[in-house]
Amino acid sequence: MASKRIPIDSGWTFKQASKTDSPFLPTAQFPTAIHLDLMHNGIIPDPFLDTNVEKIQWIGEEEWVYRTKFRGPSRDSNNTKFKLIFEGLDTHTKISLNSKEILKSDNMYIEYSIDVTDQIKAEEENELEILFHSSFLIGKKLEKEATYKPIFIHNGDSSRLQVRKAPYSYGWDFAPIFLTCGPWRPIYLETYTARFKEFSPVANVAQTLSSAKVNVTAEVEGSQAAKLEVRIFDPKGKLVQEKSVPFSAEEPGIAKTEFDISNPDLWWPVGNGSQPLYQVIATVVSGDGTPLCNTSRRIGLRRLQLIQRLLEKEPGKTFFFEVNNVPIYSRGANWTPTDTFLPRITSEKYRKWIQLVANGNHNMIRIWGGGVYEDQSFYDACDELGIMIWHDFMLACGSYPATPTFLNTIKEEAIYNVRRLRSHPSIVLWCGNNEDHMFADKYNAQYDYNDNNPENWLKTNWPARFIYDKLLPDVCKAEVPEIPYHNGSPWGGSSASDPTVGDVHAWDVWMKASLQYPYQWYYKISGRFVSEFGLKSYPSVKCISEYVTDPHERHPQSRILDYHLKASSKSTWAKDYRTVALYIQENFRIGKSLEKWVYGSQLSQAEAMHFAFSSWRRLWKGPGYEENAGSLVWVLNDAWPSVSWSLADYKVRPKPAYFSIKRSLAPIIVCVNRVEVEVSRPDEFTEARVVREERLQVWGSNFTTTNEAYELVLQKISISTGEIVWEKKIAVDLTENRSTELFVQKIDEDESRTVVVSAKLIRGGEVVSRFLDWPQPLKYLDLPRADDIKVRVENDEVFVSSSVPLKGLVLETEDDGVEFSDNCIDLIPGDKQVIHAKGLQGRPVTFMHLGIAAD
């Protein structure tokens, strides 16, 4: 009998457990979450609208019952087994089949399965019931009973540290408190005589890149399994090799084999090559050759290393990934769950997000440790589109307990998930936690980096070190030795935030405790790898109108907009509003309307992202000088409609910052920096007689693996008239895979505030890269309104031009389906730009730029 999975996905109903007399109601979908079902039945309002979050906090402290009925399949033989499989349960449950308790769960992050051969009614009706307890109340009880008290907790109730439930659901600085429950991933009934318990093909590519080994391990349940047949197909579907191996007598149910592949078709990160995927198909057969079960995996063949070696001149070590012997500059964004109600996320939505990432010149995404291990479709999309994944384990911003029970839970969770995901070539790093080492430093945890005895760590006031520095690295070494492990983010060894080793979170811009840095200072806060930084902005006016239902509340000082700034904590609304306002007022003259306030916040975010990404990219200088090797902005996406750090709103509509980053991460760029330098100082004490001058520094960067030659065209252009007051053309070479300094010139004092500097790289008459440098801050400039700006639409193209320098031209359209190739651009006279707008089809666009936003 061939194994078969029967989805248990129909006929589901639910009710509040304490209301014994109330009827069961139909669920909104399956898999599901309690808030979706209550909303579907009109019991609660849409939690995303207005301040409805406040009205539904009671849900997380109740118990809920889910129930369905299904017809049991027939028993083909006495050897037929039945197993119920629960891919994901949120979180604490008691499960009954035909009124008999069969299972309890307490971890949202793992699959549960139970043999129900003796309980199932073949060819009859069966009733499956799941009672979901309040994980919040269970956590509070466990916290009260615990002997260990956490020395730090940031975001959410401290009881979250006791339970294995997504931390962000307790409320975070980007998400409200939604204490969900429900069957959040599929449920199956599997019938079998043999079934795969584990199947993991793992590839290793030789240093020469001329060959690869694929190691296949299968673990099978079932008494009739005799041998394992494995076939490997190349990316074009051609059979490469096949083997048949018996199951081990020494290790019952285990079969192993190995394949050697010559001249493998290599998987590359996007921007460095293609993403070919091989398919591995495995079949378990009985002694008489009858197929019993089969499965398949897609794999990518790539050589991966994390390079941490001494730099030539700067202190510390590098921190960069080498794929197929090519050093890679990692660039991209952090990822949080893209909907607070996880079952609502479809594979199509995952694909749309990852396609946005690839289109934006990103090559890496960091799955943040306060969310979830994502659905397979997320990782499939990253495999297919060449997006590398930095993957945190789900531990964030708290000093977790380290009791034997908790350690066993974390170990089980880690093993399950690294095995589930280890065939994906996109995963290039497993990381122990988010910010736990950092907060341990801040709160003076007992952390002796030189103490190498893990048993001693358990006796300190920060026993969770055992998880990150012992338990998880041991799991990764055993299960995924080919994938680098990093103890935490940020982490640099003896100091979590040492900028010379490991990674850092660069938050001096936006949330420095004493006084936030101007975003023009991002160059001051680099590290070897910057895995978090960011600036908040408002979503579009269209998005705001979707979640603020009262038109009178659609203004910059709106209570509802403040609520969506930082919904997990009322006390921090004002702080975040002031910070948004600070960066707007420090840099721009902005009018008081909502439209202009939104524009000002989005332009400040876009400008900040340019200063960050370009400053750190400049430090990627070639072998021995990889002074910065990665920059991952916080954050790509939103979990609900909000004022946040995201590059695109909840409905995947890109903000201007997305396009600013896209330009900063293009394969070839040119950039201009204005810097003040000290020319002379008569003595060490004087300040009045120090001579300083402002200089233009022009540099380029080449992410490709070939040297490139261009014509560099530099111009100084009057801001008020648009007149070219100086021009220079230079032949330049950009060396492969690094930045190159191109030109330096003093800028006269009378030009310092009156001209913009245009830089273009040109080859064959085509502009490969353009950049326009403005005096900072922009609020000091008298920008012309540019009333004669020309914006012309032809089918799916928008032609734009201006007779004077123009800052931050943002195009918008009513149709969410339109995809702009670029946006939030600067213009100079004589440089007409064409923006492709897929799906526009000649329809009108509206626009805003800084020259009119001040009115």
* 3-state SS assignment for residue 789: coil
pLDDT class of 750 with cuts at 50, 70, 90 = confident
Q: What angle do CA 834, 837, 843 make, to 5 degrees?
A: 105
pTM for the whole structure: 0.98
Question: What pLDDT, on the 0 to 100 scale, is given for residue 517?
Answer: 98
If we measure between CA atoms, which residue out of 368, 319, 315, 308 comes closest to residue 630?
A: 319
Q: Is 19's pLDDT higher than 60?
A: yes
Residue 540 CA: distances (Å) to CA of 560, 599, 606? 15, 8, 14
| Contacts (Cβ under 8 Å, ≥6 apart) of 147 | none
DSSP conformation class of 661: H
Domains of the chain: 4-133+164-191 (2.60.120.260), 196-299 (2.60.40.10), 310-664 (3.20.20.80), 666-780 (2.60.40.10), 783-855 (2.60.40.10)
Tokens for 770? 């353009």
Q: At what angle do helices 656-664 and 594-617 cross, to 10 degrees?
A: 20
User: Which residues form the catalytic set?
Assistant: 435
**Banded pLDDT at 570 (limits 50, 70, 90):** low
Contacts 24+ apart (CB under 8 A), 464-468: 464/395, 464/399, 464/400, 464/401, 464/402, 464/436, 465/440, 466/402, 466/407, 467/395, 467/400, 467/402, 467/407, 467/410, 467/432, 467/433, 468/395, 468/432, 468/433, 468/436, 468/437
Distance CA 437, CA 696 (A): 40
pLDDT band, residue 1 (cuts 50/70/90): low
What mean pLDDT is predicted for residues 789-809?
Answer: 97
Residues 92-131: pLDDT tens digits? 999 999 999 999 999 999 999 999 999 999 999 999 999 9
Give the H or E element holding residue 227.
strand 227-233
CA 175, 181, 184 angle in degrees (round to 5)? 95
pLDDT, tens only, 42-96: 999 999 999 999 999 999 999 999 999 999 999 887 789 999 999 999 999 999 9
Residue 520: what are its φ and ψ, rounded to 5°?
-70, -10
> Which is it for the CA torsion 810, 813, 817, 819, positive or negative?
negative
**What order of strands is seen across the sheet that includes strand 755-763?**
724-734, 708-718, 755-763, 766-773
Sheet holding 227-233, edge to edge: 239-246, 227-233, 278-285, 291-299
- 187-233 pLDDT per residue, tens: 999 999 999 999 999 999 999 999 999 999 999 998 788 899 999 99
- CA 232/CA 242 separation, integer angstroms: 6
In 10 A of CB 784, how many CB atoms? 19
Band of pLDDT at residue 572, cut at 50, 70 and 90: low
Q: By the 8 A CB rule, do 295 and 196 touch?
A: yes
Residue environment code for 403-429, b if the CB has 16+ CB neighbours within 10 A, otherwise e? beebbebbeebbebbbbbbbbbbbbbb
- What does the pLDDT read at residue 569? 56
Q: How does pLDDT run across 249-281, given as a tens digit for each residue?
A: 888 999 999 999 999 999 999 999 999 999 999
CB distance 325 to 357 below 8 Å: no
Q: In the structure encoding, which two tokens stand for residue 595, read together?
A: 């439209």
